Structure 1
Amino acid sequence: MLTTTAIAHLHRHQDALSVLIDQITALLAGDPEAARLPLAGVRWSIARKAREYQLFKHTEIFDPAIVRGRPAQAALAADLRRACLTVSGEYEAHIRRWAGRDTVIEWAAYRGDVVAMVSRLRRHLLVERQQVERLLAGSEQVRCLA
């Protein structure tokens, strides 16, 4: 895959996740009862989209750079891969923490937890975008980094 294509795919995945995150933020500003079902739907949409994004970046960017990149590229890709797995685990823990609980009754705690998770996701996406662009700088193809 050409580096420019990989970066374009990365941006599309991140932009789609950002739209979903914006939907959560908007729902948190409304009525808790009215937000209950839409929030559940968006949470699962984020989980599905994040998994799709994770498979893309690990397969097309991180793993090839770890295997075939110069030492600095391999180290950065390994760091990015670990950070990705960490934030994925945090999001999965967030989902598990609230599964089966009444978010309307616990709205203040739920809302605070969601705001913190959304902030974490936004920060991760921003840093990851910058670091992946740095990783791929000067590479014509993702799978030919060496």
Structure 2
Amino acid sequence: MPYVTLSDQVKKMHNPQRSDSFVKELRSAVREGDVLAADLPTRFELPKQYAKRGSDATYSRSVKDMVIDATPKFEAWFEKVNKELSPARSGGRVKVSVEAIEAGLVDFKALAAETRKKMGASFSKGQALGKSRSGKAKTPAKKTKK
């Protein structure tokens, strides 16, 4: 059986700034029994750079290395998690574009459903507004005598 280390898997990530999230996901998968892994006594530095508040200095964290059983199930899990952590989180969302949709970073079906929902809400709002205006004819204001 082939074995790989956590430090090697972190090097294979598309977005190294998300390495801390990957380690959390892996530990969770090991705890739930989805992935077989064991702790090693050595530690390694994560490639993620943390910024210190109020200064330009950065630092990195070190975590315990693990040995992982590299089964096809683990490889599929790694690809899924790596894809989820791949988008750059500059604004918290991936900018919608044809390239992003083709690359699989944006779910097209969910985007289409959201657009349909928005258009339906806008249409029904316009219909309700039109009905409320047409149903009530304005009566002229009454003149008061002084």
**TM class by shorter-chain length?**
under 0.3
Taking structure 1 as the reference length, the TM-score comes to 0.27
Q: Which structure features the higher share of helix residues?
A: 1
Higher-RCO chain (CA-CA 8 Å, sequence separation at least 6): 1
Q: Which structure features the higher share of strand residues?
A: 2
Larger Rg: 2
